[in-house]
Amino acid sequence: MNRRTFVLAMAAAVALSPAVLQKAHAQDTFTIGYANLADSDVWLKKVQTDFAAAAKADPSLNVKFADANGDISKQLDQIDNFIAQKVNAIVVLPVDYDGVVPGVEKANAAGIPVISLAIRSNGGKYFYVGSSNLDAGKLQAQFMHDHLPKDAQIVYLQGTLGLYHSNERYKGFTENLNRPDVKILAVQSADYDRAKGMAVTEDWIQSFPQIDGVVAANDQMALGALQALKAAGRQNVLISGIDGLQDTLKAIVDGDIAHSVFQNASAQADAAVKVVEEIKAGKTPKDETIVPFEPITKENVNKYLK
């Protein structure tokens, strides 16, 4: 397939004809509907803030924000509203990998391009900007493989059950730990929440006299686990999280948390705005833009501190 054929095929795949793209390019104002999973999530809020900042570099971009607060029905209604407003593009951070599909498909039918940011959709046509959550789990597995003592016993704080990224992070970890001597004592969801991560860990401390490691699917839960372990006087427990939040980085400096996996909010936000600019210019972006995860330990934490 030559380049011209490929470009035209991709444009059709997202329900955008070259004529529609050129029309969008000709408009003075290019309106983006931004449907966030939850503003209450620290990392997701940073992505939104960084997206807004990057978009300000182009005065013609007008961003309308909506917060689903973790409710997929609410997010679908918000996407419907963006479609009714005839926005030029929709950026969505899906509440649910499967549940967001009808919204993406409705946008496709309306000829509105969709950018799925940080989290994929299980259907519809969209441009993906984000990281590979499987890789985050792999990086945690590699760290624990290299640093856990012999015959270690660990627990795993899982993200919200049923969510695609929760499953991918867990799968990436469990399938790549490769330490037959390490026993996973328990796996339980704490919904990516710090207080819940603390509560679950408190229960585990009561149940298990030995915990050598806590692997958490995000930093908020890792920080909650740290609070519980400190309160119980448990020491020498390797804790690993995902996101690279500043609170976690400070805990790494202090020796309280051993490891995190940096999910670059700014890079993902910037990449999403670049995709928007390509659409605005009448171009067809590539299917996906992957921003790699990066491991953080005491050896390199200063690189990420602000």
Tokens 């013609």 locate to 60
- β-partners of residue 188 are 157
Per-residue confidence (pLDDT) for residue 26, from 0 to 100:
45
Per-residue confidence (pLDDT) for residue 27, from 0 to 100:
56
Phi first, then psi: give them for residue 250, nearest 5 degrees.
Answer: -65, -35
Q: Do residues 249 and 304 lie in contact, with contact meaning Cβ atoms separated by under 8 Å?
A: yes
DSSP letters, 167-194, are HHHHHHHHTT---TT-EEEEEEE-TT-H
As a whole number, mean pLDDT of residues 50-54 equals 98
CA angle, residues 304, 70, 34, in degrees to nearest 5: 70
Confidence of residue 280 (pLDDT cuts 50, 70, 90): very high
Per-residue confidence (pLDDT) for residue 42, from 0 to 100:
87
Confidence of residue 25 (pLDDT cuts 50, 70, 90): very low
Per-residue confidence (pLDDT) for residue 15, from 0 to 100:
44
**What average pLDDT is seen over the chain?**
92
CA distances from residue 199 to 68, 226, 248 in whole angstroms, order as listed: 25, 11, 18
Q: Which of 162, 141, 129 is nearest to 285 (CA)?
A: 129
For residue 24, pLDDT over 80 is answered with: no
Cβ-based neighbours of 72, under 8 Å, separated by 6 or more: 94, 95, 96, 99, 100
For residue 281, pLDDT over 90 is answered with: yes
Q: Averaging pLDDT over each range in 13-27, 64-78, 160-174, which range is the top one? A: 64-78
For residue 8, pLDDT over 60 is answered with: no
Per-residue confidence (pLDDT) for residue 44, from 0 to 100:
94
C-alpha span between 260 and 95 (Å, rounded):
23
For residue 221, pLDDT over 60 is answered with: yes
Instruction: Report which residue type is found at 272.
Output: A
As a whole number, mean pLDDT of residues 189-206 equals 97
Q: Which of 243, 250, 252, 284 is nearest to 139 (CA)?
A: 243
Q: Which residue has the higher pLDDT, 279 or 17?
A: 279
Q: Where are the alpha helices (DSSP H) in 18-163?
A: 18-26, 42-55, 72-84, 101-109, 133-147
Q: Which domains does the chain have, with CATH numbers?
A: 3-130+265-291 (3.40.50.2300), 133-262 (3.40.50.2300)
